[in-house]
Amino acid sequence: MEIASDKHQKFKNVAQKRTINAIEAIKKIGALNNKKTYEWDEKDIAKIVKALKNAVSDMEKEFGVKPAKKEEFVL
């Protein structure tokens, strides 16, 4: 049986690798912005952004993270 610190270290190692991979994948999506190479419209981008936000929201729910409180705008 692994002790808690070993499990935490294992989590950190795997989470770091997966997070780096996810960030790199998002950067690759961002590189699709070149209109000389690709053709896209605002609806396409909105669908991509929505899918990514939903994936992050789902991940937060799996970890039991409560959504951030939306702050009221005050001028």
Cα 21 from Cα 39, distance rounded (Å):
26
21, part of any domain: yes
Query: Is residue 1 domain-resident?
Result: no
In this prediction, residues 49-72 reach a mean pLDDT of 88
Total domains in the fold of the chain: 1
Residue 7: φ, ψ to 5° = -65, -40
Confidence band (pLDDT; 50, 70, 90) for 1? low
Question: Could you tell me the residue range of the domain that residue 14 belongs to?
Answer: 8-62
Within-domain flag for 48: yes
Does residue 17 belong to any structural domain of this protein? yes
Let me know if residue 2 belongs to a domain.
no
> d(Cα 19, Cα 15) in Å, to the nearest integer?
6
Supply the pLDDT for residue 2.
60
Predicted structure pTM score: 0.77
3-state helix vs strand vs coil in the chain, percent to 5: 70, 0, 30
